[in-house]
Structure 1
């Protein structure tokens, strides 16, 4: 980004009318970080220290629904590192070949009671649904992604994640039609946007949408947990859909599901620290 161009000017150029409205709003002009950090369940965040146990880390990333953990040095008053669910899965992928890992990870998904979330429990959208419906469902249900299904409702033909909402904000044509564009046309327009080299400076570090390769990354219930871990790590995705021999949806396996299978919380491990917040209060956010 050129140092002679201000942040707001760049944003307006990238996103058209949406960003013009945003930067002229009182919210943009007056809101401070301290105004919003209390809206999250762990405000401002729940830190780890290097002396905390591996079990503590895995429990927070699974049962207690953390996606990101900050490792802090209280003495120095600084953040030393960040640990994510994806990092935990990558660590498992690096354990391939170790005896303890092979003993557990060579079991089939069905042997470990996967998928935890079955097909009839999945939140789905049809390709002709408005794309706003997909993002609203993710927000309402507190999920990071959902399958796009064909007219039968049984076959996944794509996946859309909450991070794909960025293209509604940064692609002028999509923002213009955001109230009416379907999931299918949203996918096609984003593909066109990126293939034509229209990705602006502000989007260079954005992750590629999970549906742009035109394929749904999937697995079978007779695949091993090792196979699934390697797929999740290789493709840098947060969920994988389980399908049968007809490629009908059977369920989904998430990073959290896999981490949860590795740990058991001893009675009283966290004392009363989480009383009142587990299970999650209605409308809470992590």
Structure 2
């Protein structure tokens, strides 16, 4: 039986047919065909992914191979991340002995957003101190600008802010580990990215992200196993998992500072911005967007008073002036529960976004679907798969979703 074809509005290009991600899809297809007939489709997928080692995953771009020294200053870390156009990097422990194992050689993964949120917190502390001393509150905007050029910023080390927002533990895969292990860690166990280490050399060989996995899935459209899974509607799969009554959101007239503080407090990576009715989603602010409080003058000068609505407008203006590509330049991406999983995967991949908002026929907000939600519907954790490995090892905050 021939596998279904892509629709005319999403043609498969010759390059996609031979892409490394598509080759993995064909490998899954070959394994799918020889599975025991009594297995359910879900069990078949689990078995297929358990048979493929993570060493088969396409390598990340060279720019993502950088490491940050634990004694690097925040200024140096931000410069390295910005220069390579990446949002996070593993932190190498400079105090580890030369013969240290990989688990002692790295202390975690630092994100650009984590540094930005930490700086935001410092500026708020300074503003609070000045207010207590009778200083004008408007000094906060000036302080935020001066903070990044201060000796304090240049001397503070990456290791000094360990434990700040979204500082992730260094949990790595070995090359022999399976795709199933990798997919479970990126979904159920909430890892955003996973380094792959070579035990022999004790170094990182690859970094696999949620976005890379969703891109791989997008390259597998048309294959029988994918169509069997991806043709299901969101409502049939119990999506969205995060319904509107549990969704953290912010009104567009709310100060954007409150939005970032809310993300920091709830330890979440993105918040929908709704209109005054609280029903219609009009935008999305990600924790990564906090960087524009450091780089866009029209926002950091008024960062304590600018609203979420005006922040989004100012950032779009800034991006257009600097000719930078960003999902923020587009209107918020939405979907409906009758859309298929394939529809959502192609949208997330083509738009390079991490979440998509679910709306009803009246375009009222119904929930959110993240990259993690997509991956979680691909595989399930067999009983006792990880044993008691995660008991007390990886913190899983109740409100952590992205």
Q: Is TM-score (shorter-chain normalized) higher than 0.5? A: yes
Cα distance in 2 for partners of 1:283, 1:160 equals 17
Say which SS state the counterpart of residue 337 (structure 2) adopts. coil
Aligned counterpart, 1:167: 292
* Comparing 135-144 and 62-71, the one that deviates more: 135-144
Shift of residue 73, structure 1, vs aligned partner: 1.1
Q: 2:247 aligns with which of 122, 127, 131?
A: 122
What do you get for the CA RMSD once the two structures are aligned? 2.7
TM-score normalized by the length of structure 1: 0.84
Q: Which residue of 2 aligns with 1:225?
A: 341
The answer to which structure, 1 or 2, has the higher relative contact order (CA under 8 A, 6+ apart) is 1
Counterpart for residue 31 of structure 1: 156
Aligned-partner SS, 1:211: helix
Structure 1 residues 76-131: Cα deviation after superposition (integer angstroms, max 9, x where no partner): 23211110001111111111111111111101100001111111111111110000
Change (3 A) 1:264 1:31: same
- Structure 2: 5+ residue stretches without partners: 1-74, 80-140
Distance between the aligned counterparts of 2:315 and 2:395, measured in 1? 37
Q: Which residue of 2 aligns with 1:145?
A: 270
Structure with the greater alpha carbon radius of gyration: 2
Q: Distance in 2 between matches of 1:282 and 1:249?
A: 22
Point out where structure 1 has 5 or more consecutive residues left out of the alignment. 1-6
Change in 2 beyond 3 A, CA 1:67/1:212: same
Secondary structure at the residue paired with 1:120?
Answer: coil
State the 1:50 CA deviation.
1.1
Q: Is the 8 A contact 1:67 1:84 kept in 2?
A: yes
Q: Could you tell me which of 370, 380, 402 is aligned with 1:264?
A: 380
**Correspondence for 1:79 among 204, 208, 215:** 204
How far the C-alpha of 1:33 sits from its partner, in A, is: 3.1
1:274 maps to 2:274: no
Asked if 1:56 is matched to 2:181, the reply is yes
Deviation at 1:189, TM superposition (A): 1.5
**Structure 2 CA distance for partners of 1:182 and 1:23, relative to 1, 3 Å:** same
How many residues align structurally? 265
Q: Which residue of 2 is the match for residue 93 of structure 1?
A: 218
Structure 1 residue aligned with 2:366: 250
TM-score with structure 2 setting the length:
0.61
Tell me if structure 2 keeps the 8 A contact 1:17–1:172. no
Query: Residues 38 and 195 of structure 1: is their aligned pair in 2 closer, same or farther, counting only changes over 3 Å?
Result: closer
Higher mean alpha-carbon deviation, 275-284 vs 95-104, is at 275-284
The alignment partner of 2:384 has SS state of coil
